[in-house]
Amino acid sequence: MAQLELNSLEKRFGGGDEQVEAVSELSLSVIDGEFLVLVGPSGCGKSTTLNCVAGLESVTDGEIRIDGEVVNDKRPEERNIAMVFQSYALYPHMTAAQNMEFGLKMTTGLSKGERREKVESTAELLDISELLDKKPKSLSGGQKQRVALGRAIVRDPAVFLMDEPLSNLDASLRSTMRTEIQQLQDDLDVTTVYVTHDQTEAMTMADRIAILYDGELQQVGQPLECYYRPENRFVAEFIGEPAMNTLPVERRGDRLVGSGVDFPVPDRASGGLSRGQFTLGIRPEAISLVEPNTGAVTGAVEVVEPLGESSHVYVDIGDSTVTVKTEGPKSVDRGQRVGIDFPEDRVHLFDPDSGVAVARRASIPNERPSDRTALTD
Ligand SMILES: Nc1ncnc2c1ncn2[C@@H]1O[C@H](COP(=O)(O)OP(=O)(O)O)[C@@H](O)[C@H]1O
Ligand SMILES: [Mg+2]
C-alpha cells in the first residue's frame, strides 16, 4: 500500500542536437490502492516514465516519491516496486516456480520453505499451480504472462508497474486477462500504474486515466470524465472509437458555419467565445442520420461498415468526412444523401491553434459506463 507522486519529472536522452525530451514536467499523484492507467500513442514517453519510477532509468530532473519519500537515488531493488513487461522477461533456464521465487531470494531473508509457500499460494491465485515445474519455452503467451504477474505479486510490493503486459496476446485472451488483472488489483489493493497505448484498455480498466502525448500530460481523470469532458482536442480524438469527428467552423453571429456545416452556437459556449475560428468536435455515437437538408450537415454516404449491432457510416460533406455510428444493421446505401443531426449538448469546441477546449459538456451523465445507451443518449 503506497502513494506514488511524480513532481515535475523530466527525462532527456542524449545531448546537443540529438537530445530527445521523452518526458516533460510530468506531475502526477497516484493514490493508495489506485489503478491508474498511463495511456498515449507509441513514443509518447510511457515506458520511460515507468522505467524512471522503477529506477531502471535515471531522472534528468524532478522528483519521484513513494509514501512521501524521495526515491530518485534509490536502487530498483530498494524501491519495493514490482514490474511486469510486455515481453514477460522470464529467465529461460528457470522453471516458472524458480522465476517467481527469484526476486524473493534476492531481496528477502525468507527461508526456502517460506519462499515455496508464497510461490504456491500465488500460483493458486493465478490458477497456474500445474505450470510451476515448466520452463518458459513450453508455456503459451498467456501462461508466461501469468507467471510474470505471479513473480510481481509474490514479492508483495508497494507499487505495481505494468508496461503493456497484454500487448503480445491475442484479442480474446487480452480481454480475459484484462478482467483478471482488474480483479487481482482490486483484491490485492496494490497501487498500480498500468501502461498501454490502447484506449479501450484504459477506459475499461482504470480508476483514473492519465493521457500522455509527446512527453506531456494532457489530462488526468476518471475514464468517463475524459470521454465526456476532454480538456483538449488531443484527448477528445484519442479517447473513443471511432474517433471524434472534428470540423473547422467560423462564428457568424449566433451560428457556427463551415464547409457543409451550419449549427447554432451552443448556449453554454456563447458567452465565452471571443474569437471567430473553432474546431467543432462531435462523437460518431452522439449523432444520428436524418432526412437530407435537416440536421446540422448534409452529405452523401461514402462507405458503410456493418458491425452487426451497429454500423459505421462515413458521410462525405464536402471538405471532410463525418463518421456516424448507427444502431442496428445497415440502414443506408452508398451514394445515398443523408442529413446528420448534432445534439447541441454533445458538441465540443476547441481553439484551432492550441486545441484547448472552449466548450464541452457540462457534466458526465449518471448512467453506468457499460450501458451503451449512456454513450448514445
Ligand atoms: N534509451 C533511449 N535513448 C534515446 N531515446 C530514447 C530512449 N528510450 C526512449 N527514447 C525516446 O524517448 C521517447 C519516448 O519513448 P518511450 O518512453 O519508449 O515511449 P512509449 O513507451 O510511450 O512508446 C521516444 O521518442 C523514444 O525514441
Ligand atoms: Mg513503451
Domain boundaries, the chain: 4-228, 244-376
For residue 23, the CA-to-ligand 1 centroid distance in Å is: 9
The full length of the chain comes to 377
Helix ranges restricted to H, the chain: 46-54, 96-107, 112-125, 141-153, 171-188, 199-205, 223-228, 233-238, 267-270, 372-376
3 state SS of 30: strand
Residue 211, ligand 1, Cβ within 6 A: no
Is residue 47 lining ligand 1, measured as CB closer than 6 Å?
yes
The residue whose CA is least distant from atom 4 of ligand 1 is: 13
**pLDDT computed for residue 145 by the predictor:** 93
Torsion of CA 50, 51, 54, 60, to 10 degrees: -100
Question: For 189-337, where are the alpha helices, taking DSSP H only?
Answer: 199-205, 223-228, 233-238, 267-270
Q: Is the CB of 46 under 6 A from ligand 1?
A: yes
What pLDDT score was predicted for residue 266?
80
Paired strand residues for 252: 255
> Measured in angstroms, how far is the CA atom of residue 274 from the centroid of ligand 2?
40
pLDDT of 107: 83
Pocket flag, ligand 1, residue 123 (CB < 6 Å): no
Rounded CA gap, 24 and 215, in Å?
A: 5
C-alpha 172 – ligand 2 centre gap (Å): 22
| Ligand 1 mean position, distance from CA 43 (Å) | 6
What confidence tens digit (pLDDT) does each residue in 291-304 have? 998 888 999 999 99
What is the CATH code of the structural domain delimited by 4-228?
3.40.50.300
Q: Which pLDDT does position 359 carry in this prediction?
A: 83
Atom of ligand 1 nearest to the CA of 51: 17
Would you state the pLDDT for residue 371? 42
Q: Give the residue among 4, 144, 165 at the shortest CA–CA distance from 84.
A: 165
Q: What atom in ligand 1 is closest to the CA of residue 163?
A: 21
Phi-psi region of 164 (alpha: psi -120 to 50; beta: other; left: phi over 0): left
Q: How far apart are the C-alpha atoms of 238 and 210, rounded to whole Å? A: 12
Pairing of strands 348-350, 277-282: antiparallel
Of 224, 243, 318, nearest to 284 by C-alpha is 243
- Regarding the beta carbon of 44 and ligand 1, being less than 6 Å apart is answered yes
CATH architecture of 244-376: Beta Barrel (2.40)
Instruction: Tell me if residue 51 falls in helix, strand or coil.
Output: helix
Which residue owns the Cα nearest ligand 1 atom 27?
43
Other beta carbons within 10 Å of 284: 21
DSSP class per residue in 186-230: HHHT-EEEEEES-HHHHHHH-SEEEEEETTEEEEEE-HHHHHHS-
- Which residue has its alpha carbon closest to ligand 1 atom 12? 22
Atom 14 in ligand 1: which residue has the minimum CA distance? 45
Between the alpha carbon of residue 294 and those of residues 244, 247, 326, the distances in Å are 21, 18, 17
Residue nearest to atom 25 of ligand 1 (CA): 43
Read out DSSP for 88-110? ----TTS-HHHHHHHHHHHH---
Ligand 1 neighbourhood includes 24 CB (under 6 angstroms): no
Cα 162 to ligand 1 centre (Å): 16
Question: What beta strand segments (E) does 253-316 contain?
Answer: 255-258, 261-264, 277-282, 288-290, 297-306, 310-316
Distance 45 CA to ligand 1 centre (A): 6
* Model pTM score: 0.91
Residue 370 is predicted with a pLDDT of 46
One pLDDT digit (tens) per residue for the chain, 377 residues: 699 999 999 999 998 888 999 999 999 999 999 999 999 999 999 999 999 999 999 999 999 999 999 999 999 989 999 999 999 999 999 999 999 999 888 888 899 999 999 999 999 999 999 999 999 999 999 999 999 999 999 999 999 999 999 998 898 889 999 999 999 999 999 999 999 999 999 999 999 999 999 999 999 999 999 999 999 999 999 999 999 999 999 988 888 898 888 888 887 765 566 668 999 999 999 999 999 988 889 999 999 999 888 999 999 998 899 999 998 776 799 999 999 999 988 999 999 999 999 888 777 877 544 443 333 33
* Cell numbers linked to 327: 444502431
